[in-house]
Amino acid sequence: MMVELSVVPLGKGTSVSPVIARVMSIIVESGVPYKANPMGTVLEGEWDRVMEVIRRCHEEALRDGERVVTTIKIDDYKGKGNRLNSKVESVEQKLGRKLNR
């Protein structure tokens, strides 16, 4: 399954990059395949492993704040794996050119 994750700490001012850096450290160290983008991160893996990483990310963002909004979007496609790159590549093939990534 793939999960798009967005963690937004509230009450930390306009720049939340220090908190997001700690969250990304959890993702990187987890070993779960991921792709970071400006608005969130996509993780790919088995349900329990991915959800555990998401829980840890949410708790880390909440560690020194009073409120965190964590949004997840799940794409669970039975029998399909390793889609982190292949989904975009499929669109590029149909489009006939590369997309900005």
Q: Where are the domains of the chain?
A: 2-95
Report pLDDT for 46.
Answer: 93
Digit-coded pLDDT (tens) for 25-59: 999 999 999 999 999 999 999 999 999 999 999 99
Fold of 2-95: Alpha-Beta Plaits (3.30.70)
| Percentage with pLDDT > 70 across the chain | 99
Rounded to the nearest 5°, which phi and psi values hold at 13? 90, -170
pLDDT at 69 over 90: yes
**What's the mean per-residue pLDDT of the chain?**
91
The residue written with tokens 């798009």 in the block is 4
Residue 82: pLDDT over 90:
no
Determine the residue type at 1.
Answer: M
Q: pLDDT at position 54, please?
A: 98
CA 51 to chain centre: 11
